[in-house]
Amino acid sequence: MPSNYLQILEEIHVPFMLSPWHDKDIDPKTGKAKKAHKHGVLYFERLKSYSQVVALLEPLNGPEYIEIVHSTVGMYDYFTHAETPSKEPYNVDDIQYGCGFDLSEFLALQNQTGQINEILTIIDNKDIREFNDLVRIIRENDTNLLKLLASKSYFFSRYIDSVRYGRLDREG
């Protein structure tokens, strides 16, 4: 890979994300260290053919292997080995990205269940009784959760309603 690979990727004008350098991977068959490499993802607005992607990446002298990725869920683990204790872990801070790719949004999608639980905890701990109160608190304290809140607003508003009505039933 050329030393100016980031500049080349920026000039393609397609959002991208690259793994940290995988320089500690071991080949399970031989037990020897694999050649240092990176994994990458390009985010196209429309489906591209294999030959189109190969032509686009020609200035990078590769890659050796191209695969269509239909979902980015699991890419975080693939890039960092976060959920694979048998492999050497890599630092999320070493992920490289550009051309408008939003790493914080990507990372948020990787842990949506944890974030949903975080919002539910806020509702319970702060005794939230109205959806607009929850939105205000999220906006003031953790804007990273705001997009998830907007996409799951029906779920959270129904939860708030059920908590509120449950309290009314118990309080008489």
- pLDDT tens profile 68-121: 887 777 788 889 888 788 888 999 899 999 999 988 878 777 778 888 999 999
Long-range contacts for 69-74 (Cβ within 8 Å, ≥24 apart)?
Answer: 69/41, 72/41, 72/106, 72/109, 72/110, 73/109, 73/110, 74/110
DSSP string, the chain: --TTHHHHHHHHTS-EEEPPPB-S-B-TTT-SBPPPB--EEE--SS---HHHHHHHHGGGT--S-----S--TTHHHHHH-TT-TTS----GGG-EEETT--HHHHHHHHTHHHHHHHHHHHHHHTT--SHHHHHHHHHHH-GGGHHHHHHTHHHHHHHHHHHHHHHHHHH-
pTM for the model stands at 0.65
Q: Is the dihedral of CA 102, 106, 112, 117 positive or negative?
A: negative
| 165: pLDDT strictly greater than 80 | yes
For residues 167-172, average pLDDT: 69
Across 129-138, 144-153, 155-164, least confident range: 144-153
Confidence category of residue 172, pLDDT binned at 50, 70, 90: low
| 137: pLDDT strictly greater than 90 | yes
Query: Each residue of 14-64: pLDDT tens digit?
Result: 999 999 999 999 888 999 999 999 999 999 989 888 899 999 999 998 788
